[in-house]
């Protein structure tokens, strides 16, 4: 089920690998997800820095500069391609979405460069075997057809396996840094858990679940054709078997199984959880294509007792404390880096701290 086109994969979005780590338990009914790319946060600073940037303008082919280190557009593209090969991220077609994708990608890679320098300062070294083991795990999860499928994907995007290993090693380094920076946070007490439960009682529920079927095709026109066929009375499963590109669900009539909102691609999930039971929704564009969905069954949310949520709530509170410590530490690193972006790559909020944990 997690291999389906609308489920968020191990690094769905450009850098889910960079942004998500199973430390925070999503609050039922809330979306704990990451916008397009990862780790966010850059600092281009205020007036003085802007004046200096005008004097020392970036070269025409530059994406950004950190002190005396410059990353070109081609180098940025190569880094993003590695993430595409690892996680199957598809660049959007909509011009506005492309602009946001480029800015988010530059921000993620700039923060990654900052973390590389921090890791060197802290003496963090990832053994080659650890990176190899992580690659094998990723191949098992993301490329069920085997290594040949992975190698073919690398050829399509013009990457080599060593380049992918370098990206994996970088993410493992980030995770190690996170653990080092956050290892001495104060423990979460029983009183902390009780207070959090009382404060967030309306969120303490088994989230609503929906049994979903899905068809994924390559274009909006094909998706609308599928909708027309369904409105004309054709069986959803039959249409899915005839046109869907999702090999993991096509033979099952597009059946995704039961999912909570947080398991789905954000845009697709919004539509799926607005739709009525037994209805068809879409087309909805995701990273992997155009989707038409059907809701087979709705299971309402169920309130949970303190005993039922005590352990996951404790983990969530611990995660929030660790994330707060990490944000403060990384924010200082970013401000000190004085990142200069080419205007077309400058993120919308370069000074914002990262919202999620590096994996």
183 and 251 together in one domain: no
121 and 103 together in one domain: yes
159 and 255 together in one domain: no
Low pLDDT (below 70) residues in the chain: 1-56, 87-89, 352-359
Q: How far apart are CA 47 and CA 229, in angstroms?
A: 58
122 and 215 together in one domain: no
41 and 153 together in one domain: yes
Q: Is residue 127 part of a domain?
A: yes
CATH of the domain at 254: 3.10.50.40
CATH of the domain at 162: 1.10.4030
The pTM of this model reads 0.61
- 92: tokens are 């959007």
pLDDT at 226: 96
pLDDT at 134: 92
pLDDT in tens, 302-340: 999 999 999 999 999 999 999 999 999 998 999 899 899
Query: Residues with Cβ < 8 Å from 86, sequence gap 6 or more?
Result: 11, 17, 138, 142, 164, 167, 168
pLDDT at 92: 82
Q: Contact, 100 vs 335, CB < 8 A? A: no
Q: Which domain holds residue 290?
A: 208-300
Number of structural domains (the chain) is: 2
pLDDT at 155: 84
pLDDT at 160: 86
**CA-CA-CA-CA dihedral for 76, 82, 85, 91, to nearest 10:** -20
Q: Is residue 157 part of a domain?
A: yes
Q: Is residue 75 part of a domain?
A: yes
For helices 190-199 and 306-337, the axis angle rounded to 10 degrees is 90
pLDDT at 83: 75
338 and 245 together in one domain: no
Burial bucket for residue 16 (CB in 10 Å: 0-12, 13-18, 19+): buried
29 and 112 together in one domain: yes
């Amino acid at each position: 089920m997690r291999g389906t086109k609308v489920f968020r994969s191990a690094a769905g979005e450009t850098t889910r690998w960079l942004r998500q780590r199973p430390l925070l338990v999503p609050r039922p009914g809330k979306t704990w997800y990451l916008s397009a790319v990862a780790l966010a946060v850059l600092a281009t600073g205020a007036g003085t820095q802007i004046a200096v940037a005008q004097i020392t303008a970036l070269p025409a082919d530059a994406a950004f500069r950190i002190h005396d280190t410059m990353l070109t557009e081609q180098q940025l593209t190569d880094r993003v391609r590695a993430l595409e090969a690892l996680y199957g991220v598809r660049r959007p077609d909509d011009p506005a979405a492309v602009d946001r994708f480029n800015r988010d990608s530059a921000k993620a890679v700039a923060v990654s460069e900052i973390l590389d320098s921090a890791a060197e300062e802290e003496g963090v070294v990832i053994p080659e075997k650890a990176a190899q083991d992580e690659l094998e795990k990723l191949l098992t999860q993301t490329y069920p057809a085997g290594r040949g499928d992975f190698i073919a994907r690398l050829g399509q995007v013009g990457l080599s396996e060593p380049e992918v290993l370098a990206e994996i090693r970088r993410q493992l380094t980030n995770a190690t840094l996170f653990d080092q920076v956050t290892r001495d946070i104060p423990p979460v007490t029983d009183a902390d858990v009780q207070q959090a439960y009382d404060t967030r009682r309306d969120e303490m529920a088994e989230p609503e679940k929906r049994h979903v079927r899905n068809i994924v095709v390559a274009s909006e026109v094909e998706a609308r054709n599928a909708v027309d066929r369904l409105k004309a009375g054709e069986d959803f499963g039959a249409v899915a078997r005839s046109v869907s590109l999702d090999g993991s669900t096509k033979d099952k009539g597009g059946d995704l199984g039961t999912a909570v909102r947080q398991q789905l691609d954000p845009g697709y999930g919004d539509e799926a959880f607005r739709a009525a039971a037994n209805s068809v929704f879409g087309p909805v564009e995701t990273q992997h294509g155009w989707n038409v969905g059907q809701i087979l069954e709705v299971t309402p949310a169920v309130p949970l007792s303190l005993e039922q949520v005590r352990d996951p709530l404790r983990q969530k509170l611990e995660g929030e404390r660790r994330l707060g410590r990490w944000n403060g530490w990384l924010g200082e690193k970013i401000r000190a880096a004085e990142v200069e972006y080419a205007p077309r790559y400058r993120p919308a909020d370069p000074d914002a701290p990262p919202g999620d944990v590096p994996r």
